[in-house]
Chains A and B, each alone.
Chain A
Amino acid sequence: MTDIVWPEIWQATWETLYMVGIATALTVILGLPLGVLLVLWSTPRLRPQAVLYQVLSVVVNIVRSVPFVILMIAVIPVTEWIVGTSIGVNAAIVPLVIGAAPFFARLAESAMREVDPGVMEAARAMGASTWVIIWRVLLPEARPGLIAAVTITAVTLVGYSAMSGVIGGGGLGDLAVRYGYERFQTDVMLVTTALMVVLVQIMQMIGDRLVQHYARR
């Protein structure tokens, strides 16, 4: 373990945290409304829209079925348009969000489907509008499931970020490939992989704690 470049490892760890953190936040911001629409448009007592639902559903499925490596390359023009460049940590975030948002939308959708329709019905009987039902019933009631969905998404994004880092340049995955694969420094590869394992463990633990906290009710 003589020539491990610790400053570079810490730099890469920070980059991974940054990519995963920002990407998770943007994924939720983009994916949650999609998930809400998927529920809204397919639930008889909310706002059933068979055609719109089918369209959205198919789009979500298509994006989800494209392997992330291919998606990463395919969205390079989009990345250049948004970030101005296709390399760097910020550029890596774009494919992460595009790849993860439909995934998260489905997870959120199934979490919201677990909500007792009777409770929404009761809210409607009290004179709540659809908007109020979403905001004050659907989302709060689905909170444990939604938190679990965020956790799964963030963990998945750690893996994706390792891949997108290879292209965009940055993060633990990039480091592992540059030192471990290209320069045969197995020790660097082991350390970076271990760091990712620890990262995932910590994220899962926090997520589980939060789910437990809200589900105890």
Chain B
Amino acid sequence: MGPAEGRRGVTIRLEHISKRYRLGQRETVALDDVSITVERGEILGLIGHSGAGKSTLLRCINLLERPSSGTVTVDGVRLDTLPERELQRQRRRMGMIFQHFHLLSSATVAENVAFPLRLAGVSRTDRERRVREVLHWVGLAGFEDKYPSQLSGGQKQRVAIARALAPGPDVLLCDEATSALDPQTTQTILDLLLAAQRELGVTLVVVTHDMSVVQRICDRVVVMHRGRVVETGTAADVLLDPRHELTRELVREAGWQMTGRHAPLMGRRTVLTFVGDNVYEPVLMRVAQAAGVTFSIVEGRIDRLKVQPFGRIVVDWQGTDEQWKRAAALLEALGVSVSEAVTTGSRG
């Protein structure tokens, strides 16, 4: 597959999108005046509880769902006003993958991957060459003649990714693409999505309810609740410093909100957040020695956000107020963010 150079991503712009469903007398508002943009070449996560409107919003991008109002612009082209036939042509520039893969069960792997190429009028020989190429890229060389029922879930999703990427789209829309997979398989699929971004320059919009997907691949995140966008920010903002109550809840449910509340209080309780390479340095030890304090780590997590190392630890400091102030200042100076822990937890 081609390198990323010379390939420009697409800006997706959704403006004032509303979507209402009428079921008899009842009206459901699935989307309520939502505006988002997707930057060229980024991976944008759409998160929120079930029923928040994530899938509906994603499907508005390729007009699988027609918004009740609002505009959809992809790479400068207004899609919502296009006639059906022209829209079909535009959809070929956007791949889509799903939680349950949606492969043709009556067709072989090669026929599945060739499907969009056939739609695009690619000649038979070019199709065959491209199918081999893209199957090789997803790690399924030699699987051409198998049927989907002979594959594992992860392999099926690889075929779906190959099918979506075969025509060389600028955008890949992913609706809960890893939600039906076990953790190990999820990792391999996420690696493939990252490779699509890095090697092919594809822009990805990823609907998920799984915070670990956000952590591992997303650059930016849009948080949705009841058809509205409640928060937008970088993955680090949303995971490490959530603002909206709902985002906090999501982050807490995923075990990201550390407070040390299960640990007995061993001193002045603080939450320290490290982002960047200082995660791996002996920062705490140095600061403690310089300020003359001791400390206990009561909870913590050291991991990476996509490629960026971060650490969040809950630390109890033992020492005088004076000493602690010095320690806090030193920590801040080293780029560690310090906040007081909410100490509602158990004591002694």
Contact = CB atoms under 8 A, between A and B. Distances in A.
B104 A129 contact: no
B98 A122 contact: yes
Interface string A140-178: 110100000000000000000000000000000000000
B104 A140 contact: yes
A173 to B, nearest CB: 37
B88 A127 contact: yes
B149 A126 contact: no
Contacts of B95: 125-126
Interface range on chain A (Cβ under 8 Å from partner): 20 to 34
Interface range on chain B (Cβ under 8 Å from partner): 20 to 34
Contact of B102 (A116, A132, A140): A116
B304 interface: no
A-side binding surface: helix, strand, loop or mixed?
Answer: helix
Contacts of B102: 116, 118-119, 121-122
B98 A118 contact: yes
Interface in A96-138: 116, 118-119, 121-129, 132, 136-137
Given A127-B119, A217-B147, A217-B149, A119 B91 contact: no
A165 to B, nearest CB: 38
A127 B91 contact: yes
B100 to A, nearest CB: 6
B116 A126 contact: yes
A129 B106 contact: no
A214 interface: yes
Nearest to B118: A136
B64 interface: yes
Contacts of B91: 124-127
Interface of B: 62, 64, 84-85, 88-92, 94-96, 98, 100, 102-107, 115-116, 118-120, 147-149, 160, 163, 173
